[in-house]
Amino acid sequence: MKLVLAQLIAVLASIGLGEAGQRTGELVYIEAGILALVLGVVLMLAAFGLELVELLRERSLSQGRLDTPAA
């Protein structure tokens, strides 16, 4: 949940910085917005990776239970 919140903040910051760069014409704001957007994408990929690891872990645990004979 914390990772998703950080991703949301990064994307919102990139939108705000991009708009500020368009209004003022300052390239620094636009570059900062692009960096914040890249950070949001990296956080999104990290969240996806964690979900994938959790899914694979649950799948391996459920297969392990099926392989054990009932007592």
| pLDDT, tens digit, 9 for 90 and up, residues 6-30 | 999 999 999 999 999 999 999 999 9
pTM of the shown model: 0.75
List the chain domain ranges. 2-65
* pLDDT at site 55: 93
Which of 39-43, 46-50, 60-64 has the lowest average pLDDT?
60-64
Q: Cα–Cα distances in Å, from 56 out to 41, 63, 68? A: 22, 11, 19
* pLDDT at site 67: 53
